[in-house]
Amino acid sequence: MITLGQQPYQGLANEEVLSFIGVSRKTLDRPMDCPDFWYDLMVECWRYVPRDRPTFRQIVEHLIPLASDQFREASWIYNHPTTDYPSDTEPNYVPEGHGMRPLAVTEPVDEVSGVLFTL
């Protein structure tokens, strides 16, 4: 929405995007004319360590002050506050050591796309 549908990582192949994000730990530059408010939120969501990223609840609380009166009147989440949300301290990612292994860029898995992974 901020870039009006512009493709992120334009000109980079899939393995280059993986290297850009996973190895170099880089993030995208601020889109032209993007307000600080939105770019700061994007950067928070792009944090490398999943547990350091904002939860959905934190994102909603960040965005509510921008909501129009029309949104506030129609919004379920705004009009039906609940404490039944998962705790912000509960993991919203798969913790290390739970059967999931990170992917490393070394061996081809999909010859069609040419994406390189080690499983």
Structure tokens at 47: 């944090």
Phi then psi dihedrals of residue 116, to 5 deg: -105, 125
Give the whole-angstrom CA distance, residue 36 versus residue 44: 12
pLDDT digits (tens, 9 = 90+) for 6-15: 667 677 788 8
Direct distance between the N- and C-terminal alpha carbons of the chain, in angstroms, rounded to an integer: 34
For position 117, what pLDDT does the model report? 46
* pLDDT tens track for 70-88: 877 777 766 776 666 556 5
51: helix, strand or coil: helix
| CA–CA dist 75, 67 (Å, integer) | 10
pTM of the model: 0.54
